[in-house]
Amino acid sequence: MERLAKMSVPAYVEAMRAEFEQVMKQVAEAVNQAPDGQVVDASEERVRDLLGDFRAKAYQTALQMRVHAAEAAFSPGGPKDASTQAGQGRKPA
């Protein structure tokens, strides 16, 4: 069984950096906007939703990058072995 090519970890981190920073800003804003004495009640659901959306996006992006890495490594001619190379250029009898 052939292994899938691996994605570039630095490229993945860079691809997610802007999204991560935006989500962290939104988390901070949600907590800061909560009224005194109700910080948890007023911000927990919003923060949970923000981080849940980010988690899904992070996972989806990672999977997509792994598939793209595999596609880039794919040889359109298929795997090469002696049995397929030996018959190349010959016409069937």
pLDDT in tens, 26-58: 999 999 999 999 999 999 999 999 999 999 999
- 2: closest CA among 78, 61, 59, 65? 78
Number of domains in the chain: 1
Q: Is residue 46 part of a domain?
A: yes
Q: Is residue 1 part of a domain?
A: no
Phi/psi of residue 75, each to 5°? Answer: -95, 115
Q: Is residue 69 part of a domain?
A: yes
Q: 66-85: per-residue pLDDT in tens? A: 999 988 887 666 555 444 44
Predicted confidence at residue 25, as pLDDT, reads 98
Q: Is residue 83 part of a domain?
A: no
Q: Per residue in 11-23, is it b (16+ CB within 10 Å) or e — as a string?
A: ebeebbeeeeeeb
In the predicted model, what is the mean pLDDT of residues 6-20? 97
Containing structural domain, residue 31: 9-75
Q: Is residue 59 part of a domain?
A: yes
Q: Is residue 64 part of a domain?
A: yes
Predicted confidence at residue 47, as pLDDT, reads 98
Q: Is residue 91 part of a domain?
A: no
The number of CA neighbours under 13 Å toward the Cβ of 48 is: 6
Q: Is residue 82 part of a domain?
A: no
